[in-house]
């Protein structure tokens, strides 16, 4: 995988981690753990964000397959949320899958088109810190918009413990959808240089379909969770 420079860590990965923490905890009804007037919350954020960035850095350094990197990150992110924020395991899993899924949704909404439009390879993309920074700006803005929306929505605590079987079905389906999308992204990115221009366009169109599926599923899931 690509090796992260100090610039990409500070300008790309760290802001991403902070916003992911906010999205994950807001989606699982833990807004009280995000108030910055509480010193404990500040300490938790200061610990969690660098830990997540460190996990991302080392996973990309030691692993070569994108799917393995993602699965490794999901596992470690979940453990970090469990240990630092003391939330329930199913909340941690759901939080990580959703905020990671949102990232994938955002990326596949425009990154394939970016590769096709500028006819750039993965190697060229990862070799330029400035390119990675500027292409991350839309992601950060969308993440910020999601945080603001969820903060105003104020989702109540998800009482999934009263729906034990349903809890596992929701987590299982979310995980399967997540794996399907990561596999699609992996296939696209690793075959990018071998695809003809027409096939790149077809993959880009298919990525838009995944975006529609993600948005629809997320809306249905959040509507369902609010009713529990």
Residue 20's Cβ-count burial label (10 Å; 0-12, 13-18, 19+) is: buried
CB 85 within 8 A of CB 30: yes
Average pLDDT over residues 103-130: 75
| Angstrom distance (rounded) from CA 199 to CA 182 | 19
Q: Provide the token pair at 147.
A: 């945080």
Model pLDDT for residues 72-109, shown as the tens digit of each residue:
999 999 999 999 999 888 788 888 888 887 787 777 77
pLDDT confidence of residue 193: 63
Domain ranges of the chain: 6-226
This prediction's pTM: 0.76
Q: Provide the token pair at 200.
A: 């790149």
Length of the chain: 228
pLDDT confidence of residue 145: 87
CB 45 within 8 A of CB 22: no
Confidence tier at 157 by pLDDT (50, 70, 90)? very low
Model pLDDT for residues 188-216, shown as the tens digit of each residue:
666 666 666 677 677 667 766 776 676 66
| Angstrom distance (rounded) from CA 18 to CA 111 | 22
Average pLDDT over residues 162-174: 63
């Amino acid at each position: 995988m690509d090796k992260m420079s100090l610039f990409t860590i500070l300008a790309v990965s760290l802001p991403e981690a902070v916003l992911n923490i906010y999205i994950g905890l807001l989606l699982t009804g833990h807004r009280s753990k995000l108030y910055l007037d509480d010193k404990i919350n500040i300490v938790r954020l200061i610990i969690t964000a660098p830990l997540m960035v460190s996990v991302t850095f080392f996973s990309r350094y030691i692993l070569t397959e994108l799917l393995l990197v993602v699965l490794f990150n999901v596992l470690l992110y979940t453990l970090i949320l469990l240990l630092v924020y003391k939330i329930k395991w199913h909340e941690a899993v759901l939080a990580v899958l959703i905020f990671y899924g949102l990232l994938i949704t955002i990326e596949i909404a425009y990154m394939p088109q970016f590769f096709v439009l500028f006819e750039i390879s993965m190697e060229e993309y990862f070799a330029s810190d400035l390119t990675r920074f500027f292409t991350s700006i839309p992601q950060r803005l969308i993440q910020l918009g999601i945080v603001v929306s969820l903060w105003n929505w104020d989702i109540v605590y998800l009482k999934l413990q009263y729906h034990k079987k349903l809890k596992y079905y929701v987590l299982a389906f979310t995980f399967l959808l997540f794996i399907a999308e990561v596999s699609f992204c992996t296939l696209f990115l690793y075959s990018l240089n071998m695809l003809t221009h027409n096939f790149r366009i077809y993959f880009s169109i298919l990525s838009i379909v995944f975006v529609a599926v993600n948005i629809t599923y997320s809306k249905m899931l959040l509507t369902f969770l609010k009713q529990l």
